[in-house]
Structure 1
Amino acid sequence: MAEQAMWYVVHTYSGYENKVAQNLETIVANRRLQDLIHEVKVPVMMEPEIKDGKERMVERKIFPGYVLVKMVMTDESWYIVRNCRGVTGFVGPSSKPVPLSQAEVDKLGVETVAEPTVDYEVGDNVEINAGPLEGFVGLVEEIDMEHRKVRVKVSMFGRETPAELELDQVKPL
């Protein structure tokens, strides 16, 4: 297949975004259509919410009523997505699907950014190069790539003190 997979925007019933994404992923898995429909995403962001005097992070949909689908547009893939329960149609003139441009994909942050690389690992000694502990040396206890954090045990005033820092706030010794 010479065609390249592109991102398309699918309109759904409000509140059905996650259900549509789940249904599409199930159909793709059951019919083995991974070569036609590559990814299905419901763009969300985490927002702080204060309720009962407590702040917590809540997931909010960036585009309510829309799901993004990376697929190779064929009659079969169009039919499967268009006839999925909860889908009202593709976004485009007269329901003719129009793929997102690369600039739009970049702006929306749809495609995941590569994991950051770090040149230290658990058990290494590192120097803290930013923040209130700048200049201190510590031992790496944990590296959390998902949240881009590193937990370092710093020796201060004769005590071991744990500190959670951004990945770029430490450098190997």
Structure 2
Amino acid sequence: MAFKWYAVQTFTGQESRVVQYVQGMIDSGELDGVVSRVLSPVRDVVSVSRGKRVTKQDKYFPSYVLFEMEFTQESAYFVRSINGVMDFVGGRKPRPLKSAEVDRILGHEVEDEGRVVTDSPYKEGDMVSISSGPFKGFDGVVEDVSAEKGKAKVSVTVFGRATPVEVDFAQIEPVS
């Protein structure tokens, strides 16, 4: 059996439903010799919303699902008949993904497993107000952002001098 990876386009927001359906069939043994793996690459992203950390899953390739399968007329018909699937990338005669592409995609999955990516709501030059901590009530300008740590360096004026203060994203809010 020559299992190769193929990309399939899905309707927006249907990726996880397609993966769950196919994974259930793989687990029950209904797809032995047809599809060996299915995935929709995602990573956890932490963002700050209204002063609270929120974790959500971010898709590497929105609206696409990857299938490791043996491409035959029957397997192609099965994949195309799944609710939420539009078609293979490449149409009627899709080409398998290159091994370098698959290694890169699967490498991201392994590399990001256990690591949380933080989405920074602030950028350098933003005016912010510190809402908690020892500098509560101070306004300042964001000098540096460390998205990995979820922190920002804010320059506040203390006793007439600019003082850099490192604060968590949850401790600041934009000045409107």
Q: TM-score range by the shorter chain?
A: 0.5 to 0.7
Q: Which aligned pairs between 1:110-129 and structure 2 lie closer than 5 A?
A: 113=110
Shift of 1:29: 4.4
1:9 touches 1:91 (CA, 8 Å); kept in 2?
A: yes
CA distance in 2, matches of 1:49, 1:147: 16
**Alignment-derived partner of residue 12 in structure 1:** 10
Equivalenced residue count is 114
**Alignment-derived partner of residue 52 in structure 1:** 50
2:41 touches 2:60 (CA, 8 Å); kept in 1?
A: yes
CA distance in 2, matches of 1:5, 1:109: 16
The gaps in structure 2 that reach 5 residues or longer are: 116-176
Amino acid at match of 1:97: P
CA distance in 2, matches of 1:86, 1:73: 20
TM-score (norm 1): 0.58
Q: Which has the higher contact order (CA 8 A, sep 6+)?
A: 2
CA distance in 1, matches of 2:28, 2:65: 20
**Residue aligned with 2:82, SS:** coil
Q: What do residues 85-132 of structure 1 show as CA deviations (whole Å, max 9, x unaligned)?
A: 11100001x432211111111122269659xxxxxxxxxxxxxxxxxx
**Residue aligned with 1:95, SS:** coil
Q: Which moved more, 1:101-110 or 1:42-51?
A: 101-110
Q: Which runs of 4+ in 1 moved over 6 A?
A: none
1:8 touches 1:68 (CA, 8 Å); kept in 2?
A: yes
1:43 touches 1:110 (CA, 8 Å); kept in 2?
A: no
- Counterpart selection for 1:74 from 57, 72, 95: 72
Amino acid at match of 1:58: K
- Counterpart selection for 1:109 from 92, 106, 109: 106
**Residue aligned with 1:15, SS:** coil
Shift of 1:82: 1.0
CA distance in 2, matches of 1:26, 1:69: 14
Q: What do residues 29-64 of structure 1 show as CA deviations (whole Å, max 9, x unaligned)?
A: 456222220011011012121112122332111111
CA distance in 2, matches of 1:111, 1:64: 15
CA distance in 1, matches of 2:87, 2:107: 20
CA distance in 2, matches of 1:95, 1:47: 36
Q: Percentage identity across aligned positions? A: 38
- Counterpart selection for 1:97 from 90, 94, 97: 94
CA distance in 2, matches of 1:28, 1:80: 13
TM-score (norm 2): 0.57
Taking only aligned residues, the RMSD between alpha carbons, in angstroms, comes to 2.4
Over 3 Å counting, the alpha-carbon distance change for 1:111 and 1:38 in structure 2 is: farther
CA distance in 2, matches of 1:23, 1:96: 24
CA distance in 1, matches of 2:32, 2:108: 17
2:10 touches 2:87 (CA, 8 Å); kept in 1?
A: yes
- Counterpart selection for 1:38 from 36, 39, 49: 36
Over 3 Å counting, the alpha-carbon distance change for 1:31 and 1:106 in structure 2 is: closer
